[in-house]
Amino acid sequence: MARDTGYSRIRVMPVTGALGAEIEGVDLSAPLDATAFAEIRRAWQENAVLFFRDQKVTPEGIEALGRRFGELTITSYTNPVPGFKFAHSLVRAAEVAAGERNFGDSWHIDQTVREIPNAGFLLYAVDCPPYGGDTGFASLYAAYDALSPGMKELCRSLVAVHSPAGLFGRDGTGGPGKKPFMLAGADKVYNMTPEKMRAYMGQETEHPLVCEHPETGRLHLYLTGYVTRFRDMTEEESRPLIDYLTAHVARPEFTYRFRWRNGSLALIDNRCLQHIAYQDYAGFRREMLRVELADKVAPFGPAMPREAARVAAE
């Protein structure tokens, strides 16, 4: 699919062969007219993540912009900007010690332990550290496309079980290869309590391992650190394939690492991308604004057809 042609109102400059494009010619502080919006929407579908530089976006502005792309929603463990419901601020203070890790510092899709994870999100850089704090992206389209026909067929037949235990261990305290969920200092940064943590740890949800993107119709892997096993298989039987696919998705040719500057805004697909927040800026403050876009339908694919997928309540 051509990723940089046929645009009249915006300039679309792909940043890698697998994903991502920088967009020029748009001022996001002003309302977008229908033509410019339609071109941005198409560029988003074709590139999975779009980057806009040198923008001036307020909490009000990011909510208004997000609403153009879909219904807004919230993740209950982050804190809203005072006076706003959907514009959440992600702040890491300069005083937080290097070993105190925020969420998001391993490859993941957001919140796949929910039945209907978010369709995407907007992130805006308010205050960037002088170095570090990049965000990495991996294309789950490219990772799927590169598999052999036999492996594609196997993956299309599987349903994956997603649980917080996949990232944080059975009881949330970490374990071999896992990190603890209640990260030291996280309660200072996030709206997280032990009660919320226990409720969160108890969740377990099934999604097909290969999904069809509801807007592009393309197939992509749907794999994240939350996956503990495949349906009708044990964890031990599932682990070699999970490990293989996890390493496969993170291959350099499927990934891109975005360097933020104050005023950068990213529009991120949460279905066909994994992302990772690099936390290599201890001693510096970082502040981002985020709004999340709700999805209308649970992930579906060959192993779980769309007709059977749960639809969001109106």
Residue nearer to Fe ion on the CB measure, 164 or 241: 164
Residue nearer to Fe ion on the CB measure, 70 or 104: 104
Q: Is 94 exposed, middle or buried (0-12, 13-18, 19+ CB in 10 A)?
A: exposed
Residue nearer to Fe ion on the CB measure, 104 or 180: 104
* CB 154 to Fe ion: min, Å: 28
Contact (Cβ atoms closer than 8 angstroms) between residue 122 and residue 266? yes
* CB 78 to Fe ion: min, Å: 10
- Helix 34-47, helix 59-69: angle, nearest 10: 80
* CB 104 to Fe ion: min, Å: 4
Coil, helix or strand at residue 110: coil
**Torsion sign across C-alpha atoms 260, 266, 270, 273:** negative
Task: Specify the amino acid at residue 45.
Answer: Q
Residue nearer to Fe ion on the CB measure, 110 or 269: 110
- Which residues, listed in sequence order, are joined to residue 227 by a DSSP beta bridge? 162
Q: Is 307 exposed, middle or buried (0-12, 13-18, 19+ CB in 10 A)?
A: exposed
* CB 157 to Fe ion: min, Å: 28
Residue nearer to Fe ion on the CB measure, 158 or 273: 273
Q: Which residues bind Fe ion (CB under 5 A)?
A: 104, 110
* CB 275 to Fe ion: min, Å: 6
Contact (Cβ atoms closer than 8 angstroms) between residue 162 and residue 224? yes
17 φ/ψ angles, rounded to the nearest 5 degrees: -70, -25
Residue nearer to Fe ion on the CB measure, 230 or 281: 281
* CB 79 to Fe ion: min, Å: 16
- Structure-token pair, residue 299: 């992930």
